Amino acid sequence: MFKAIVIEKDETGYRASLKDVDESQLPEGDVTVRVSHSTLNYKDGLAITGKGPVVRKFPMVPGVDLVGTVEESSHSSYRVGDAVLLNGWGVGEGHWGGLAQKARLKGEWLVPLPSRFTPQQAMAIGTAGYTAMLCVLALERHGVTPDQGEILVTGAAGGVGSVAVSILSKLGYTVVGVSGRLAESDYIKSLGASEVLERAAFSSAGKPLGRERWAGAVDVVGSHTLANVCATTKYRGIVTACGLAGGMDFPATVAPFILRGVTLVGVDSVMCPRADRLVAWQRLGTDLDIAKLNLITHEIGLAEAIPTATKLLDGQVRGRVVVDVNA
């Protein structure tokens, strides 16, 4: 038996609870992992609370991230005792995920735990941090360099935002954060932002074009915020869009694209090809100040993941949450 958070949906409703699960119930896969840590991402919050249609079959163990040790393997790349990491691939949505003491997975989804990180540090980064890195890589791929001007990061006190601010500032960019929690301004500045702007300045309908300010942006919010970010991005600037914390809609005009040559780059971490993941994790090893991870992260036990999911969706969680599944 092992402990897991299990999401069930039946005629009595939708619920998540901590349960003892028999190992025989683990899904199919060629690698069984003894999980040490998982995390709570926005998507896990949606899955646990049922506030978003994330879970595709029931019962489901949530958790889009996990780190642990291989316990059994028939996959040629992994042996018993290997330290491994998983982000995404629909795990925690359509296949049992990381908020459990055991997981059985496809070996092709795993990556070796980078030697630079402890299991806790890898989960402090998690999907949110790896997505932040994918956004930074997209800015670089499109030629954004620190001398071109300010980079805007929305949702700056959240998981993706906190890691994006940290990476960009370490790389020498001037970073401006946007947050609905101005009480967290000092925190966001301690991660490397030079300025923090109020969320309200971005969250309602704006003009098709505004004063050109951003050389690049990392947006986790979507909706009016993403439209306003595009409208205030400089000529030929690059906006990366990875989130929908403010809404899935995109009420924008084409003006920034056809008059200023702004590029909107979509970023997805879930199905991101393995080669790109390995690059992102390798760059996290060099371009993220590990000392800042302590500022960004707090740790909870498995049972606490359920109430913390509600707090996360209510915007009350700062930075990243690591879940010690054995606590």
Which amino acid is present at 124? Answer: A
Size of the residue set binding ligand NDP (CB under 6 A): 32
Contact pick of 61, 138, 156, 230 for ligand NDP (by CB under 6 A): 156
Q: Pick out residues in 42-101 that bind ligand NDP (CB under 6 A).
A: 42-43
Query: 101 or 228: whose CB is closer to ligand NDP?
Result: 228
Contact pick of 32, 41, 101, 228 for ligand NDP (by CB under 6 A) = 41
Q: Token digits for 216?
A: 């690049």
In the block, which residue shows the tokens 């790109």?
A: 276
Task: Identify whether the C-beta of residue 146 lies closer than 8 Å to the C-beta of residue 303.
Answer: no
Minimum distance, C-beta of residue 225 to ligand NDP, in the bound complex (Å): 6
Rg (CA), the chain: 20
Nearer to ligand NDP, 37 or 102 (CB): 37
Nearest distance, CB of residue 24 and ligand NDP, angstroms: 32
Is 267 an interacting residue with respect to ligand NDP (CB under 6 A)?
A: yes
Asked if 165 and 191 count as a contact pair (C-beta separation under 8 A), the reply is: yes
- For residues 323 and 317, give the distance between their C-alpha atoms in angstroms, rounded to a whole number: 14
Q: Which of residues 217-246 bind ligand NDP (CB under 6 A)?
A: 220-221, 225, 242-246
CB of 187 to ligand NDP, least distance (A): 9
Nearer to ligand NDP, 312 or 325 (CB): 312
Residues 6+ apart with CB under 8 A from 311: 317
Torsion of CA 49, 55, 61, 66, to 10 degrees: -100
Output phi, psi for 55, to 5 deg.
-80, 125
CB-nearest residue to ligand NDP: 158
Three-state DSSP class for residue 276: helix
Applying CB under 6 A, the residues found at the interface with ligand NDP are 41-43, 127-128, 131, 155-161, 179-181, 199, 203, 220-221, 225, 242-246, 267-270, 312, 315
